[in-house]
Structure 1
């Protein structure tokens, strides 16, 4: 089937999800600006805050960048006071990266107003609606996690 014809047959929900993804991407850019960072730097701080300390190679892998780029990124974040390097607990040749408390607090302060708005929308749903929407979002998240990955 012709790709344009296939897209024309998509469910309206697909386009609503596309719009949500676009709004989310725009929000990320605005939040990065508010944090006076680029999106990759903000994402790195988020990953370290969310997943805890990790090495530069793991951070590079999660960001989808090369290790040389990660080194430059970490140098920049460390100089700005957003990331700390500490010796790895078991391997003296490696270092562990940690988001500073200040970076985490700043990120939370920037993101909290938007999170409150999302929470407000979620709380406006009836319990029955919330169950359906949550299940849909969980299935959608799983599908998006699979998209573009090798089989």
Structure 2
């Protein structure tokens, strides 16, 4: 219940016009590293290999708090759906003058016909049995749109899901 309240508050803050736009200079690699450190105990408990595939700085200008929350929600979803023994990898890169954040997991993926809907508030995949609220990807979408970015969902090469944010 506390997580649901926290997500509702975050979603409210992420909505356009809800707060003054911020232009923090942050290193996405460092932000991702911090998120992974806080999620490491959960990954260990679930026997999921959680890793960061980047060691160089990827600087961006934006709302640092909301960008971190975006990473939290992406990693949280990936860990939730990846089975024991699976892998979740966060990769950062700079390509064509923009930052690229990719989260890849070994979970069941998202069917192509549901990919547009998963960004809707409270939307849950057909047959979903976990305890999620359906707010995580709605938060991610708001943060990405506020940063004039874009997000894509794709199948992983060997299954799972690949989420790319630019």
User: Is the TM-score greater than 0.5?
Assistant: no
Higher relative contact order (CA 8 A, sep 6+): 2
Larger radius of gyration: 1
TM range (shorter): under 0.3
**Which one has the bigger helix percentage?**
1
**Which one has the bigger strand percentage?**
2
